[in-house]
Structure 1
Amino acid sequence: MTSALHQSRLEAVIQAVTGTGAQTVLDLGCGAGDLILRLAPLARITRLTGLDIDLNSLRTLRERLADIPPKTRAKVQLAQASMTAAHPNLRGYDCACLVETIEHLPLGDLNRLERALFADMRPGHVIVTTPNAEFNPVLGVPAHRFRHPGHHFEWGRARFKGWAGGVAARNGYSVTCHDIGGTHPTLGGASQMAVFQRQG
């Protein structure tokens, strides 16, 4: 079942994807396909590619795809692959999405992700969401813990903006950051989103 927070996050990402005008979309760390299943029915989307390292998640997504109309299903292709490796056949996409995935990478892998995605595959737009650590007290998460045992880090808004700005500057993108998933007057949103746009 999709939580209200996850639904809110997905709606924000879909709105951002729609705002880019993208027709071809990469979903890196697609999991069981919550984003793909919401994007596939959109008439503007012509091709969706989901990548995940976890084979069981991809199997679940394939089962879920069997329940949608064949014409919609034909837009989707899946691959078991790492998001930190460059995939030359995936160059030229309009948009790439990473929804609550970067925090599952060891910090040392972020440089590899940057090189693979922003320097090599270079989609027109990249949309990244990640938890906002400042919001954790609102969710009852103790200061010494992360929201999920699979997280390697959780950033506050300043740290996330600093990372996003550095990635954008090094790779010829502009970036804007947004609070998503509900907002608190001082702590921001439960999650945060960066929308990168390739320049030139």
Structure 2
Amino acid sequence: MTSALHEDRLRAIIAAVVQSGARTLLDLGCGDGDLILRLAPLPRINRITGLDIHMPSLTALQAELHRLTEDSRAKISLAHASMTRAHPKLRGYDCACLVETIEHLPLGDLPRLENALFGDMRPETVLITTPNADFNPILGVPAHRFRHPGHHFEWGRAKFAKWAQGIAARRGYAVSLSDIGGAHPHLGGASQMAQFRRD
């Protein structure tokens, strides 16, 4: 059972994937495959690679693929690997999605993620969502805590925008930012998304 916020994130990502016109897709940090299971049946999508460093999640996802038709399953491949390392086989995809994954990386790994994703893989479109720390008081999260014990950081909108705009400037992408999961007049949404498009 997924939360309403998680469903909002998935709907936002899927809408952005469809709008991008992508046919081939990377799901980096795919976890149990909620996004993959929703995207694989779309006729326009013809190849999806899910990558995660957590083997139990990939095993759980593999077991869930039976829910899909044979044609949808044939589009999917899974890889046990880190998103912060370059993988030549992951070059040339139309779109990469990172749904609530960057905050699970140590801050020191973010430059490696940038090099691998924007420097080596270089998909046409990159979609990244992450919690919006500005919204944490609405959720009752104390200032000294994160939403999840596995998070290494949580950024407010200004810090996320600065990070995303820096990558866009350095790597030859345009970027736009949007709220997910509500739109408080001062605090934004519970999550936030950066949509990168290669220039």
Q: Which band: TM-score by shorter chain? A: over 0.9
Counterpart residue number, 2:81? 81
Could you state the TM-score of these two structures normalised by the residue count of structure 2?
0.99
SS at match of 1:195: strand
Pairwise CA distance, 1:67: 2.0
Pairwise CA distance, 1:148: 0.2
Q: CA RMSD in A?
A: 0.5
Counterpart residue number, 1:71? 71
The runs of 5 or more residues in structure 1 that have no matched partner are: none
User: Counterpart of 2:90 in structure 1: which amino acid?
Assistant: L
Q: Distance in 2 between matches of 1:164 and 1:122?
A: 15
C-alpha offsets along residues 27-78 of structure 1, whole Å, 9 cap, x if unaligned? Answer: 0000000000010010100000000000000000000002211111000000
User: Counterpart of 2:50 in structure 1: which amino acid?
Assistant: G
The runs of 5 or more residues in structure 2 that have no matched partner are: none
Counterpart residue number, 2:3? 3
Q: Distance in 1 between matches of 2:156 and 2:94?
A: 28
Which consecutive aligned stretches of 4+ in structure 1 deviate over 6 angstroms post-superposition?
A: none
Q: Distance in 2 between matches of 1:68 and 1:192?
A: 29
Count of aligned positions = 199
Q: Distance in 1 between matches of 2:174 and 2:62?
A: 35
Q: Distance in 2 between matches of 1:193 and 1:146?
A: 18
Q: Does 1:145 align with 2:154?
A: no
Identity in percent: 71
Q: Distance in 2 between matches of 1:26 and 1:137?
A: 33
- Range with bigger deviation, 161-170 or 178-187: 178-187
Q: Distance in 2 between matches of 1:47 and 1:125?
A: 15
Could you state the TM-score of these two structures normalised by the residue count of structure 1?
0.99
